[in-house]
Structure 1
Amino acid sequence: MIKFCALLLFCSLANFVIAQQHIISGTIRDTGGQPVPFASVYIKNTTTGTSANVDGKYTIKLNSGQFTLSFRAVGYTQQDHIVNANTDIVLDVKLSSESYTLDNVNIKANAEDPAYEIIRQAIKKRKEHLEEVKAFSCDVYIKGVQRLKGAPKKFMGRDIRKVMDLDTNRKGIIYLSESQSRFNFQRPDDIREEMISSKVAGTNSAFSFNKASDLIIDFYDNYLLENKLSARGFISPIADNALFYYKYKSLGDSKENGVLVHKIEVIPRRENDPVFRGIIYIIDESWRIYNTDLYLTKNAGINFIDTLNINQQFTKVKEVYMPTSVNFQFNGNILGFKFAGYYVGVYSNYNLEPKFPKSFFNGEILKVTQMVNKKDSIYWSSNRPIPLTPDEKLNYVKKDSIAKLKESKKYLDSLEKENNKFGLGKLFMEGHSINDRYDKKYYSFDPIRKSIFYNTVEGLVIKYGVTYKKVLDDNVSYSIRPEARYGFANQKLTASLSGNYLYNPLKRASVSASFGNGIFDMNNLGSMTAIGNTINSLLYEKNFAKYYEKSFFNINTTRELATGLQASLAFDYNRNHYLTNSTDFKFFDNKEREFTSNNPFSPNVETPLFPTYTSVSATASLTYTIGQKYITRPDGKFYTESKYPKITVLYKKGMNGVLGSDVDYDFVKAEVSQDRIGLGLWGYTSLLAGVGKFLNNSKMYYLDYKHFQGNISTIFPPNLRKFQFLDFYQFSTNQQYFEAHLEHNFAGFFFNKIPILRKARLEEFIGGGYLSSPEKRNYKEFYFGIQRLVLRASYGFAYDGAKKLTQGFRISYGF
């Protein structure tokens, strides 16, 4: 027995020695002694490896034995070093600048550069290379760093150095994160990633937003980064139509890893086309991409940043080449804040023949578990593939210690005492908040500027509310909101109380209820904003909005039944009362115009549109987004933008006799919509189409009709569903209808070609709407315009059949 135990102990020790890992580390420099940032270090002929940091320092762990390490960087000649990993080794490496020769190239006048034929071959093979890997899985490490290179001393009255924890020159790291994931892919576009560990400097409870899929940029696609840095996307140097947009120049050939690699410079044919600049490396005969060193500038139409560099290195895996290092470097300047940063991804341990179980790809593109951010510094020291730079180490230590301090009740109490200070100016513009982050309790007081307005029904109105929110364990939360409203002309006080309980964030499941009384727009989809109606009433003697009073009780619940399928149920009790104008006050008296009555169908006489009545209804709806993708985090489930339409079906029943209800109707509708359908260089399209019908309209009043989002104002907030020239109230229906909206944004396709307009970065758009119902048959409108960020201006025409109704300018804003 003793001998057996001894043998067992000996075998265990032997296994430990065999499995023991040793650290190979060093600095990678060029021949001039300067560090080579983000150079790749891989075991030769494998996808096991790492990347150097921005200072050229690297660390790789190897089991005991002999290995050949390959050191690569775009722009440098690859070096291989044999190491005997029987102990820790310091191995510094000097990389020579790449040497590409132009041998055997006869240059003649007017002759085509040999790069063109290489690119033509790569274009022919593009689709084959795009689709040749049907599925794969790999390990991914992502590191993101953002630095502030300069900033104004103060911004909106606040000391930037103190707020952002910068040095005396207002410079410093403002974001530092790392993550490790297992990434899985299956063609055509199935993705599933599970985050294993996550670390964000200064936020002990936060999760990194790094996603491996965000760094996988495939130049075998025709268009890249669509709807990210630009609405149009950017053309690949080997896209099917690339020769129309690029010029090419051969910079020579070189043998690397047994293959001939062509180095080709890509040059825009036109300065402001949405294209890349830089170098692409193509392997001879197979015509695959070997490396990329490409960048985008403002001239290409990127938003938010000035320059983006994309550096990729590929390694042979079986018979194909897969990316092992991807690096995005960027810089920019916004409102005096100069910033720069990078995201680097290290891809390793590829499996090109994964056996995914059935239903493995279920729409969940990223899963972040509760324990992801609980790994300590010892774990990261042992598992971090890219060494930290000295300032990154300091940033972690400093911000993590501050983060721990910030979690204490004493610190939070002192912080909240400062942040919760009352200010009259702040209350007027932003509202006032009282936060208790330690106990997760939050009070929010409405801003006064949104609480005071005017209409002819109530006169001067004060509407004010306070919201209280409490967050429980697992991000379950509830909120309560009391609200009161008083009109000085009609001397009417109304008040309500509402509440919401989010009981399952992962299922997007909640219950809400409200009761009280209040003043509401007769169009339940809304007409004008309160401030817009105030300005039109007081300055132009135009009281567009029409109101009524109701006492109400309602309860509704919503829950996700399956991925992309959201269900909701609602029960509503309303006691509705018609109101009349109480005042005709205005700042300027227009002799040619008078305020209209509160009845939109009887503008000159105050005739009640409906009697006081009770309405009880129940509504059920289902909304399904085709191909919905989502991210699961401990704090909830978050949908991403879908490439496919959203379909909604709804049934509403007016319940006669229930709780004294005076209505009896059945209404059904179906809608399909989709935002930002990418059309490559031509921009994107958004659409919405809906059809509905009252199966039964035995007893109903105007408020129960199907209303539409109209507009008769020059300035309004944008909404695809909104008709730009349709009256708010005149064409509501209690029968059937069909409506459709279509808008296409060219994203600067035309203006980018006009030098005088190019720098303005304007986007041109066209659109239209259509409505058909018994009240308004064959109504249509068309418009065209320009926009820049959240501001847009358009000119349009409205028709009733073939008859033109109106035309004019419209200005809309998105803030």
Structure 2
Amino acid sequence: MLGLLLLLTINTSLLSYGQTTKIRGRITDFTTGEPLPYVNISISGTSVGTITDFNGDYYLETRVKGDSLSVSYLGYAPLSQAIKYNIFQTIDFKLVSNNILMEGVVVRPGENPAHPIIRKIIANKAQNNPERLDHYQYESYNKVEIDLNNVDEEMKNKKIFKQFQFIFDYVDTSAVTGKTFLPIFITETLSDFYFSKNPRVEKEVIKATKISGVNNESVAQFTGKMYQSMNIYDNYINIFNQGFVSPIADLSLWYYKLYLIDSAFIGNRWCYQISFKPRRSQEPTFTGDIWVHDTTFAIVKSNLRMEKSANINFVKDMVVNSEYTMLGDSIWFLKSSNLFVDFNITDRKTTGFFGRKTTSYSNVKFTLDMPDTLSKLAEKVMVKDGALNQDENFWQQSRPFELTKKEAAIYQMVDSVQNVPIYKTFVDIINMVVNYYYVVGYFEIGPYFKTYSFNEIEGNRFRVSGRTSNKFSKKVMVSGFTAYGDKDNRFKYGGDVLWIISKSPRISATIAYKEDIEQLGQSKYALTEDNIVTSFLRRNPNYKLSLVKEFSISYEKEWFHGFSNAITVTQRRLYPTVYIPFEFSDGSGSLSELSTTTVNLNTRWYKGEKFLMGQFDRVSLGSDKPIVNLDLTAGLKDIFNSKYEFYKAHINLFYKVNINPFGYSRIILDGGKIFGKIPYPLLHLHEGNETYAFDRYAFNMMNYYEFASDQYVSLFVEHHFQGFFLNRLPLFKKLKWREVVSGKGLIGTLDKKNLDVMKFPLGLTDVSKPYFEVSAGVENIFKVIRIDAMWRLSYLDNPNIEKFGIRVGLQIIF
């Protein structure tokens, strides 16, 4: 958080800006002090207004000028109060009852008047949902802002901000939460969006983008409309890995209490106003209200606010406001939407962040006039040449509204604050904590968690490692390490050179060499052996390590986002140990080393995948489609002293699927086949785990060197209930723990010819009958801890195995 705060400076600007009036408050009964829900509040002489929520609270944020705020409520005398333009203000009202005497009223049992309207909305969803349209296109404007919140005098007086006092002149207050905030980042995007239902086409052309402190096209791809939309017509609106129930979902009456509040003209169309709140706490639901057209039963306006008790981490509040307009005779389409999110790591009033996104839609057409050049591109998002270079005159003409002075100033903040010396020091410290490297000029020292570890082969292991920084080069990165064990008295070392030929699409080449110890049969996502955490979390002595000398050259080409190939040539020498010997099956002797030369072709397909890219590394933002990895490997005999000819085919599928309202599942299907006659270290040694750390990609109750195959298939299914059951138990509700269950199965075969090459180590065998393990656990303990109870269901007579175990994981989840 400090790193983002230090991205600030203020410069005076002569531009004209829009102004915003912000009001919030509470309305109560003058006599009883009870809060009054559904009170109408409006700025006199305008169409701007809102209603109080179930706690009598309200907020307004508008650019429209007005002199006073008026409130009215059936049975109470109306009130009004003067307001000030372009500032934040808190205005509370205490309404006085009219004391009107009425004759007795007989109330007979009947249906809630909101329910028939909701049923008609549901019945007409297919007709009103914009996604039913065969084609459409539009121009969209997006503004995204990040703010530091809970900015107060205590923060201002801290010593670390001594050189940044000028930034506090721009502190503002949120009408939604009443928290003070400081804008620290803003981006604007203007784009053309194209949609076709059959064949399915979604394309976005970013025509212009403006990002504070960033001039990078890969970042610009994430500032448009794509991957950020929410549709109220969906039964479940997936936000932060949770399927929030829409107030107009097919089962809305099961999740919500609904109230018919008002009816009025919006424009020239008569509409109903329905308010809603959850029937139960801690479920992923909203509070708020909607306006519905009385003829088409389409949504005209919606105000959704996350239920405060919803089981979501780090999100204290979230509000989504949307407005629709009728185009033609019967088609309702989004006109604007606003998203507000309040992030905070703790539950206390500490510093956090606001995330705000404003989108407007214009030039809507129900045709698809997409340029031919765009239709041929595989990428969903394209940044047009010159999009980052539009001047201020262009933006003033293109924005649907003016920026406030504080919003516009953010663009000028970043460059100046980066010149403050203390800023660079803080950025280096934060980078070290987050990325595990400490930057020193042209070099980065790390990762620090590998500096010390211990194992049975090396004893105490000490390592020094690092890589070149972006200051050295933004195209080439050189990495290296050296390590020493005080038990085997041997130095290990390695290094690689990564050359980024192109970033979009990504094309890279790598040359690498290492002489180091390695754990065969370990999943590639497991904690590495020279990790201090792994050393302490081992459940068995770590003596199954092997010395490896390996040289490789690889070339990777991304044909388009989500589809890539990589070809790798590897020369590898593997050495035996006392614990892992290389003895011939016929007893004729042993090998001093096992040498292979292989060529591997990897094909990776992840449709719709997007990345957030740095200079060398990139982070996948995922997709709703499966990830498929196909590896084809050829072992080349007599090439660089290679002794074996063989061929391997391996396929892996990973799929995350939402099963609302019951959470989501992760499914991993893995299989492979090996052709040829090879010794056991070249077979598929199934991924065990001899630590207490949970590894999703390994068999957590299996030991290393327990099973090997030359033909195999495995299936892993893990389901996260997201608190579906625990949220209903009084004791566990407050803890906000979440249930997770999993099961993993494996079966494989082993050809006799591969059994006759080399004597298997003690305990290593085939898996010709199925191997199973299951688990049940709880995650979200203190928001970051997961604990699983695991049971092994087969091969229970194998030596030195655990039939039951506990595994612990650390994870950051919403």
> Which range moved further: 476-485 or 194-203?
194-203
Whether the 8 Å contact between 2:17 and 2:404 is mirrored in structure 1 is no
Deviation at 1:171, TM superposition (A): 4.6
Aligned to 2:356: 342
Residue among 220, 235, 242 paired with 2:252: 242
- Residue type matched to 1:135 in 2? H
Distance 2:263 2:686 in 1: 65
Distance 1:339 1:690 in 2: 40
Residue among 473, 477, 480 paired with 2:478: 480
Distance 1:25 1:356 in 2: 34
In the alignment, structure 1 segments of 5+ residues that lack a partner are: 1-22, 40-52, 59-72, 77-105, 436-441, 581-596
Aligned to 1:688: 668
Distance 2:434 2:393 in 1: 49
Aligned to 2:734: 759
Distance 1:27 1:654 in 2: 68
Say which SS state the counterpart of residue 689 (structure 2) adopts. Answer: coil
> Which range moved further: 350-359 or 262-271?
350-359
Distance 2:804 2:721 in 1: 23
Mapping for residues 393-412 of structure 1, pairs under 5 Å: 393-397=408-412, 399=413, 402=416, 406=418, 411=419
Aligned to 1:316: 326
Aligned to 1:800: 794
Whether the 8 Å contact between 1:54 and 1:389 is mirrored in structure 2 is no
Mapping for residues 223-622 of structure 1, pairs under 5 Å: 223-224=236-237, 226=238, 228-229=239-240, 231-318=241-328, 319-335=330-346, 336-340=350-354, 342-356=356-370, 360=375, 362-369=377-384, 371-397=386-412, 399=413, 402=416, 406=418, 411=419, 430-435=436-441, 442-470=442-470, 477-523=475-521, 525=523, 529-530=529-530, 531-532=532-533, 534-535=535-536, 542-580=540-578, 597=579, 611-622=592-603
Deviation at 1:467, TM superposition (A): 0.5
Query: Measured at CA, do residues 37 and 150 of structure 1 come closer, stay the same or move farther in structure 2, by a change above 3 Å?
Result: farther
Say which SS state the counterpart of residue 558 (structure 1) adopts. Answer: strand
1:210 counterpart = 2:223? yes
- Residue type matched to 1:659 in 2? F
Say which SS state the counterpart of residue 622 (structure 2) adopts. Answer: coil
1:782 counterpart = 2:764? no
Query: Measured at CA, do residues 250 and 107 of structure 1 come closer, stay the same or move farther in structure 2, by a change above 3 Å?
Result: farther
Say which SS state the counterpart of residue 684 (structure 2) adopts. Answer: coil
Distance 1:427 1:237 in 2: 42
Distance 2:520 2:457 in 1: 13
1:159 counterpart = 2:160? yes
Aligned to 1:9: none
Deviation at 1:741, TM superposition (A): 0.9
Distance 1:482 1:111 in 2: 76
Distance 1:273 1:284 in 2: 30
Mapping for residues 736-751 of structure 1, pairs under 5 Å: 736-751=711-726
Say which SS state the counterpart of residue 300 (structure 1) adopts. Answer: coil
Whether the 8 Å contact between 1:137 and 1:352 is mirrored in structure 2 is yes
Aligned to 1:729: 705
> Which range moved further: 190-199 or 759-768?
190-199
Query: Measured at CA, do residues 629 and 187 of structure 1 come closer, stay the same or move farther in structure 2, by a change above 3 Å?
Result: farther
Q: TM-score, normalised by structure 2?
A: 0.75
- Residue type matched to 1:689 in 2? L
Count residues with an aligned counterpart.
Answer: 685
Distance 1:494 1:426 in 2: 25
RMSD over aligned Cα atoms: 4.0
1:710 counterpart = 2:721? no
Query: Measured at CA, do residues 240 and 664 of structure 1 come closer, stay the same or move farther in structure 2, by a change above 3 Å?
Result: same
Residues 5-56 of structure 1, C-alpha deviations (whole Å, 9 max, x = no match)? xxxxxxxxxxxxxxxxxx99999998656998899xxxxxxxxxxxxx9551
Query: Measured at CA, do residues 565 and 575 of structure 1 come closer, stay the same or move farther in structure 2, by a change above 3 Å?
Result: same
Deviation at 1:731, TM superposition (A): 0.9
Say which SS state the counterpart of residue 803 (structure 2) adopts. Answer: strand
Deviation at 1:681, TM superposition (A): 0.8
Query: Measured at CA, do residues 796 and 634 of structure 1 come closer, stay the same or move farther in structure 2, by a change above 3 Å?
Result: closer
Deviation at 1:687, TM superposition (A): 1.0
Deviation at 1:416, TM superposition (A): 9.1
Distance 2:635 2:181 in 1: 63
Whether the 8 Å contact between 2:18 and 2:401 is mirrored in structure 1 is no
Query: Measured at CA, do residues 163 and 745 of structure 1 come closer, stay the same or move farther in structure 2, by a change above 3 Å?
Result: farther
- Residue type matched to 2:730 in 1? P
Aligned to 2:628: 647
Deviation at 1:615, TM superposition (A): 1.7
1:144 counterpart = 2:144? yes
1:113 counterpart = 2:112? yes
Whether the 8 Å contact between 1:367 and 1:632 is mirrored in structure 2 is no
Deviation at 1:370, TM superposition (A): 5.1
Distance 1:683 1:402 in 2: 46
Distance 2:340 2:387 in 1: 26
Deviation at 1:677, TM superposition (A): 0.7
- Residue type matched to 2:640 in 1? L
Distance 1:780 1:680 in 2: 27
Deviation at 1:480, TM superposition (A): 0.9
Distance 2:225 2:163 in 1: 33
- Residue type matched to 2:664 in 1? Y
Residue among 608, 627, 638 paired with 1:657: 638
Distance 2:596 2:216 in 1: 48
Deviation at 1:749, TM superposition (A): 0.9
- Residue type matched to 2:440 in 1? I
Whether the 8 Å contact between 1:683 and 1:749 is mirrored in structure 2 is yes
Deviation at 1:288, TM superposition (A): 0.9
Say which SS state the counterpart of residue 271 (structure 1) adopts. Answer: coil
Residue among 63, 73, 78 paired with 1:56: 63
Whether the 8 Å contact between 1:147 and 1:340 is mirrored in structure 2 is yes
Distance 1:682 1:609 in 2: 56
1:812 counterpart = 2:809? yes
Residues 631-669 of structure 1, C-alpha deviations (whole Å, 9 max, x = no match)? 799979986422222222222222221122122322222
Residue among 197, 212, 219 paired with 1:187: 197
Say which SS state the counterpart of residue 297 (structure 2) adopts. Answer: coil
- Identity among equivalent positions (%) equals 19
Deviation at 1:400, TM superposition (A): 5.7
Say which SS state the counterpart of residue 393 (structure 2) adopts. Answer: helix
- Residue type matched to 1:312 in 2? S
Query: Measured at CA, do residues 667 and 216 of structure 1 come closer, stay the same or move farther in structure 2, by a change above 3 Å?
Result: closer
Query: Measured at CA, do residues 483 and 472 of structure 1 come closer, stay the same or move farther in structure 2, by a change above 3 Å?
Result: closer
Whether the 8 Å contact between 2:513 and 2:551 is mirrored in structure 1 is yes
- Residue type matched to 2:478 in 1? I
Say which SS state the counterpart of residue 324 (structure 2) adopts. Answer: strand
Distance 2:434 2:259 in 1: 61
Query: Measured at CA, do residues 180 and 489 of structure 1 come closer, stay the same or move farther in structure 2, by a change above 3 Å?
Result: same
- Residue type matched to 2:685 in 1? H
Whether the 8 Å contact between 1:235 and 1:276 is mirrored in structure 2 is yes
Residues 338-365 of structure 1, C-alpha deviations (whole Å, 9 max, x = no match)? 4445321111111112234667285533
Distance 1:187 1:215 in 2: 19
Deviation at 1:202, TM superposition (A): 4.3
Distance 1:56 1:669 in 2: 59
Distance 2:294 2:594 in 1: 81
Distance 1:193 1:390 in 2: 30
- Residue type matched to 1:120 in 2? R
Deviation at 1:165, TM superposition (A): 7.1
Distance 1:239 1:422 in 2: 47
Whether the 8 Å contact between 1:600 and 1:730 is mirrored in structure 2 is no
Deviation at 1:689, TM superposition (A): 1.3
Query: Measured at CA, do residues 691 and 146 of structure 1 come closer, stay the same or move farther in structure 2, by a change above 3 Å?
Result: closer
Say which SS state the counterpart of residue 672 (structure 2) adopts. Answer: strand
In the alignment, structure 2 segments of 5+ residues that lack a partner are: 1-15, 23-40, 51-59, 73-104, 172-179, 750-765
Whether the 8 Å contact between 2:42 and 2:49 is mirrored in structure 1 is no
Distance 2:17 2:648 in 1: 71
Whether the 8 Å contact between 1:180 and 1:195 is mirrored in structure 2 is yes
